[in-house]
Structure 1
Amino acid sequence: MPVSLASATRRGFLIGFAAINAVAVWSAAAFARTGPLPSWNDGVTKTSIIDFVGRVTSPGGVDFVPPAERVAVFDNDGTLWCEQPIYFQAAFGLDSVRAMAPQHPEWKQQQPFKAFLSGNKDALAAQGEKGLLTLIAASHSGVTTDAYAASVADWLTRAQHPRFHRPYNELVYQPMVELLASLRANGFKTFIVSGGGVEFMRVWAEKAYGIPPEQVVGSSGVTQFKIDADGKPVLMKLPKVEFIADGPGKPSGINRFIGRRPILAFGNSDGDHQMLQWTAAGPGARFVGIVHHTDAAREYSYDRESKIGKLDKAWDEAMQLGWTVVDMTKDWTTMFASERGTAEASQ
């Protein structure tokens, strides 16, 4: 549904559902074999990351940061995994509506369900953003949290990206996975702070990134404790927004759920701008990074004009203040982990 989905704002979509604790150095064995960050090209970007980690982890150095204060935060969509042509959680929501349709015969006569299920793109477009939000909300509420998690896990085993024809959770960026692992090896605690639904991300984030559920901060809906018909305590997902971890909600979420200002932050869009500003404003050594999507051949190329992952004001500030901007084409030798496996097999 390219017309209606492209019109949805980042915040609009969100409303629809709503380490090692010791001083460490880069692994000598890994460095001897491939160097830190093997999927990153040598250059200014890679050097700036390695230099920052070295400075904040060197005891006695002017920029040394105790392990407890080494907090690193990462946006998810477009920063740790692909986000085009639509947010993956939106794809899950729409697929769920299709699967739920047989249990809801009334949808055949109700908009926007009628337009969506019949494939009438013009009629669906006429429903606007509100129509899309109604569809997403239908798939994210009225079930227990356990049932919802199971449905996400099941979807990930079946659904495939329309361009890459691979499961969505295989489209994580190998260079960022390496960065997360390297930071943890150097005493950092890594968090996801994303506008995506916290319960959606917690299903797969630990396996994909090594980030446990309790270190995922995301948007959330209201849940209600109940005793079900079998006498079992459950949490029901309600169609009501509790918290939106996007834009200014990101630093608020960091304060609320993490309790420490990060010393390193990565994002890719204007939805991450305030989180990057909040990180940069702290005392001492700081690292602020932006992933710039420049690789249409291996992934996608977009920034200022994109309806998904728009990068405009944050990019301008990065240029003014000297934040690190990762150019996917120039800085990454590998995009996805499967590429690395194919390349190694051919050697």
Structure 2
Amino acid sequence: MFSMRDMFRSAREGTLAAVAILLFVTAAQAQSDPLPSWNDTAPKASIIAFVEKVTKEGSPEFVSEPQRIAVFDNDGTLWVEHPMYTQLAFALDRVKALAPQHPEWRTKQPFKAAIEGDMETLASSGDKGLLELLMATHAGMTVDDFQKVVTDWLSTARDPRFNRPYTELAYQPMVELLAYLRANGFKTFIVSGGGIEFMRPWTEKVYGVPPEQVVGSSIKTEFRMQDDMPTLFRLPDVNFIDDKAGKPVGINQQIGRRPIAAFGNSDGDLEMLQWTTMAGAPARLGMLVHHTDAEREYAYDRNTEFGRLDKALDAAAIAGWTVIDMKADWKTIFKD
């Protein structure tokens, strides 16, 4: 006879089986989704459709692996750039650390403003003042010494709003995108207005992008024998500015292939997206990250000193670039 105990046991086993099946299906779906931090909106669909199109052999838009080059801006595209660029925060901390060796900075602008935290005066110094700060804090040492200074600073510095290391403020959806592209035969490059040697010590750990695939601004260096050891010494002179019209030049000089995909977030990336997408066949993808989430990150575009998105936003509609709405298109911003 089928007892009540048997009936409850059967029901319990059935429930456990249903739960197991649900967990299995959920896990399988998670594994099959290459971009789990993206909402199922148009940008995610555009990325996946593009990748499938250029990687499918026999497709009229198939692209061989050597030609699968994707370029990414860094500040505001891969990690935070507000309330100021991370490299600027580094430079300001360097001014304060070096100030005891330079008593003249107490009365000389823009160093006085940097020491006192007077951001209004610092901003009024313009590009000339910021360049002066960078030359004073980034030069006068070997490449190896500078790499150690950057690494040590990043290990202790904290973002003022999120109270986390800057290297933990990479955008998780973009980290997933980098990995997804590489899994499909793409070579991913960072092409940034930031200093190339500021980025190289940490990009591989944070993004999976090795130092030889980083294109950025640079200062001049020269070979020196120092204590009978060969070194490269950093000089207080600009070598190359990898921003705006400089980005296509940097891509051509250091990569040597025209990308088929480009990702940016500001007017500084306009020429890079034009260079990438306005070249005809094969298929091309251009995307802009639009900062629209004041609650989880920041909301800004046309009226900001850092990461202004104005001309490029207007150009996106004409050129057919996809605009990523951070608030609507990303499930999460940072990795938990």
Note whether the superposition's TM-score is higher than 0.5: yes
In the alignment, is residue 263 of structure 1 matched against residue 236 of structure 2?
no
Matches within 5 A, 1:307-322: 307-322=305-320
Match of 1:57 in 2: 55
Amino acid at match of 2:60: V
> Could you say which structure has the larger radius of gyration?
2
Change (3 A) 1:39 1:92: same
Q: Could you report, residue by residue, the CA deviation over 1:51-95 in whole angstroms, capped at 9, with x for unpaired residues?
A: 100010001111100001000000000000010011100000110
Note the alpha carbon deviations across 1:173-196, whole angstroms, 9 max, x for none: 000000000000000000000100
Q: Which residue of 2 aligns with 1:275?
A: 272
- Per-residue CA deviation, residues 115-171 of structure 1 (Å, 9 max, x unaligned), is 432455676566555333322221111111111000000000111111111111111
- Residue pair 2:30, 2:36 contacting (<8 A) in 1 also: no
**Structure-1 separation of matches of 2:106 and 2:260:** 51
The corresponding residue for 2:203 is: 205
- CA distance in 2 between partners of 1:321 and 1:185 (Å): 28
Whether the 8 Å contact between 1:221 and 1:239 is mirrored in structure 2 is yes
Q: Of 152, 155, 161, which aligns to 2:153?
A: 155
Shift of 1:40: 0.3
In the alignment, which residue of structure 2 is the partner of 1:26?
none
- The answer for the alignment partner of 1:96 in structure 2 is 94
Query: d(CA) in 2 for partners of 1:194 and 1:122?
Result: 25
- Indicate the percent of aligned positions where both proteins have the same amino acid: 61
Q: Is the Cα contact below 8 Å between 1:269 and 1:309 reproduced in 2?
A: yes
Aligned to 2:240: 243
Q: Distance in 1 between matches of 2:202 and 2:276?
A: 26
Q: 2:298 is matched with which residue? A: 300
**Range with greater deviation from structure 2 (197-206 or 111-120):** 111-120
Q: Which residue of 2 aligns with 1:176?
A: 174
- What letter matches 1:96 in structure 2? R
Alignment of 1:35-46 (within 5 A): 35-46=33-44
Deviation at 1:305, TM superposition (A): 1.2
Which amino acid letter does the alignment assign opposite residue 311 of structure 2? Answer: K
For 2:138 and 2:328, the matched residues in 1 are separated by: 39
Tell me the distance in 2 between the aligned counterparts of 1:185 and 1:253: 25
CA distance in 1, matches of 2:275, 2:116: 45
CA distance in 1, matches of 2:89, 2:77: 18
Q: Distance in 2 between the 1:128 and 1:45 partners?
A: 36
What is the root-mean-square deviation in Å for CA atoms of aligned residues? 1.7
User: Is the contact between residue 175 and residue 335 of structure 1 (CA under 8 Å) also seen in structure 2?
Assistant: yes
Alpha-carbon offset, residue 100 of structure 1: 1.0
Per-residue CA distance 1:10-51 (angstroms, 9 max, x = gap): xxxxxxxxxxxxxxxxxxx97663512000001211111101
**Which residue is 2:326 aligned to?**
328
Matched, 1:136 2:134: yes
Secondary structure, counterpart of 1:169 in structure 2:
helix
Provide TM-score, normalisation by structure 2: 0.88
Question: What does residue 231 of structure 1 align with?
Answer: 228
30 and 201 in structure 1: CA distance in 2 versus 1, 3 angstrom threshold = farther
What runs of 5+ residues in structure 1 fail to find an aligned partner? Answer: 1-28, 339-347
Structure 1 segment 286-297 matched on structure 2, within 5 A: 286-297=284-295
Structure 2 equivalent of residue 337 of structure 1: 335
Q: Which segment drifts farther, 29-38 or 255-264?
A: 29-38
- Map Cα deviations across residues 252-279 of structure 1 (whole Å, 9 max, x no partner): 1111110100000000001000000011
Matches within 5 A, 1:91-130: 91-119=89-117, 124=122, 127-130=125-128
Worse overlay, 29-38 or 208-217:
29-38
Deviates more, 1:294-303 or 1:115-124: 115-124
What whole-Å deviation, never above 9, does each CA across 1:228-247 have from its counterpart, x for those lacking one? 1x211111111111111100
Conserved? CA contact 2:168–2:334, under 8 Å: yes
Higher relative contact order (CA 8 A, sep 6+): 1
Aligned residues: 309
Q: Mark the CA change 1:55 to 1:330 in structure 2 (over 3 Å): closer, same or farther.
A: same
Out of 18, 39, 48, the residue aligned to residue 46 of structure 2 is 48
* 3-state SS of 2:66 partner: helix
What is the letter of the counterpart of residue 234 of structure 1?
T
TM-score by length of 1: 0.85
Deviation digits for residues 206-245 of structure 1, max 9, x if unmatched?
A: 00000000000000110011111x2111111111111111
Distance in 2 separating the partners of 1:246 and 1:128? 16
Aligned to 1:77: 75
| Residue identity matched to 1:272 | D
CA distance in structure 1 between the partners assigned to 2:249 and 2:77 by the alignment? 20
